[in-house]
Structure 1
Amino acid sequence: MTELPPATATPFERAGEELRSVAFRSDFAVREIPAPPGLAPFSLALAGDVRPDGSGTDSPFGTGRFILLHDPDEPEPWGGAWRIVCFAQAPLETEIGTDPLLADVAWSWLLDALASREAAYHAASGTATKTLSKGFGALADQGDGAQIELRASWSPQAPFGPHVEAWAELVCMLAGLPPGSEDIAVLGSRRTMRD
């Protein structure tokens, strides 16, 4: 059990301990990574991988990043002292990648995950990008492929644990693992990463 931060801890230290104490599903590995410099006076970054192979690289099934930013000066675009920036991506079957509603569905999964955890927020923004690829020459054997990528940010209200849980759900959903699907096999042909 993680110890509670002392009463003298700063708001950012308390938020960091809250994020570090979140338990994730067994097939989603989360680790703390260095936060990109210069985004805010205080930041904490997490990387998450769906069923990683242990090599320390991004999972071939789905991967994501979660960054909690804190600026006591409350930047005007944030509308407060906190901001979350996240990223999630996963490979797809080519037929799914051509679906014209795919980007809308990916965004709705994030909003649904936040709502299901009652994670209060405002000023949400983001992009959903779908990529289709075809191998040629030495890469022709790889065939066609597709990938979905969602980048989003929002200004959260505490508690922050529900926000990181929603991000984890989003990454798993993009990888084809909806809530309650722990330890269910992922089809290999759908989950081939593209070079």
Structure 2
Amino acid sequence: MSPAATTSLTPQAVFDALVASIERAVLRDELQVTTIPAPTGLAPFAHALAADVNPARHADDSDLGTGRVVVLYDPDAPEGWGGVVRVICFAQAPLETEIGLDPFVSDVAWSWLVDALAARGARYTAASGTATKVLSTGYGELAAQGSGAQIELRASWTPLDLDLAPHIEGWAELLCMVAGYPPATDGVAVLPTRRSPRA
């Protein structure tokens, strides 16, 4: 559904259609996805999902990756959005310390999101985001935990149509990849799957 096709619909009907398109997304089996309360005050309508990488698929490992995605809908098309819908996503996963020190790991994480959206045919504009590497070392009673690293990606973009399934699928693919799973499509760089014991 294009934004122009919504002119005869009520805002609630448009939002219901957006949520229905989200529910049609086909997500990877490695994820456990739940609907969570959406943040308030950002837009008249909002829908949110949280996801965790299924630890059972990685032997005894846990906390391999987590993420959230929020879909905002404002029929007044706020300035800066470039449309009536804005998708905001977050993905986080632990890394080996040596990988966290790689100066290009942030660039790789951002490219995963762009590639995942493109592979699913998600059309969008006004993309922005940050990729952050977090390095940590335990001291005192936490010294036994040693050193560790995390990658965090926060991004947002404005879909050019109101079928949000490709956008949600792209976010889910990103989360699996930062957690160390191979991509669903060929030709995408992969970080080593060995993870730090620190979360």
TM-score category, normalised to shorter length: 0.7 to 0.9
Match of 2:168 in 1: 164
What amino acid maps onto 2:174 in structure 1? L
Residue 179 of structure 1: CA displacement? 2.7
Q: What is the 5 A alignment of 1:38-117?
A: 38-52=41-55, 60-117=63-120
Q: Say whether the 8 Å CA contact 1:60–1:193 is kept in structure 2.
A: no
How far apart, in 2, do the equivalents of 1:71 and 1:192 lie?
A: 42
Q: Tell me if the contact between 1:61 and 1:191 (Cα under 8 Å) persists in the aligned partners.
A: no
> Which runs of 5 or more structure 2 residues have no equivalent in the other structure?
1-8, 57-61, 186-191
CA-based RMSD of the aligned residues comes to 2.0
Q: 1:124-158: CA deviations, max 9, x gaps?
A: 00000001100001110111100000000000123
Contact 1:50 1:62 in 2 (8 A): yes
Inter-CA distance 25–191: structure 2 relative to 1 (3 Å threshold): farther
Query: What TM-score do the two structures reach when normalised by structure 1?
Result: 0.85
Match of 2:36 in 1: 33
Structure 2 counterpart of 1:19, one-letter code: I
Residues 110 and 166, structure 1, Cα contact 8 Å, conserved in 2: yes
Q: 1:140 to 1:35 in 2, by over 3 A?
A: same
The aligned amino acid for 1:169 is E
Is the contact made by 1:40 and 1:69 (CA closer than 8 Å) also made in structure 2?
yes
User: Which secondary structure state, in structure 2, belongs to the residue aligned with residue 150 of structure 1?
Assistant: strand
Q: What is the aligned length?
A: 178
**Letter of the aligned partner of 1:167 in structure 2?**
W
Residue 149 (1) aligns with residue 160 (2): no
* CA–CA distance in structure 2, aligned partners of residues 78 and 40 of structure 1: 11
In 2, the alpha carbon distance for the partners of 1:153 and 1:71 equals 15
Structure 1 SS opposite 2:93:
strand
Give the Cα–Cα distance (whole angstroms) in 1 for the partners of residues 171 and 103 of structure 2: 23
What is the CA–CA distance in structure 2 between the aligned matches of 1:120 and 1:22, rounded to whole Å?
Answer: 15
Relative to structure 1, the CA distance from residue 33 to residue 163 in structure 2 (aligned partners, 3 Å threshold; closer, same or farther) is same
**Following superposition, which runs of at least 4 residues in structure 1 exceed 6 angstroms of deviation?**
none
- Provide the residue aligned with 1:140 in structure 2: 143
* Equivalent-residue separation in structure 2 for 1:92 and 1:138 (angstroms): 22
Q: Provide, for residues 76-132 of structure 1, a one-character-per-residue CA deviation record: whole Å limited to 9, x for no partner.
A: 100110100000000000000000011111111100111111100000000000011
Normalising to structure 2: TM-score of the pair?
A: 0.84
Letter in 1 for 2:63: P
| TM-superposed deviation, 1:163 | 0.2
The match for 1:190 is: 195
> Which residue number in structure 1 is paired with residue 126 of structure 2?
123
In structure 2, how many angstroms separate the alpha carbons of the residues matched to 1:180 and 1:116? Answer: 9
Q: % of aligned pairs identical?
A: 58
Query: Does structure 2 conserve the Cα–Cα contact (< 8 Å) formed by 1:131 and 1:146?
Result: yes
Correspondent of 1:173 among 151, 157, 177:
177
| Alpha-carbon offset, residue 180 of structure 1 | 4.3
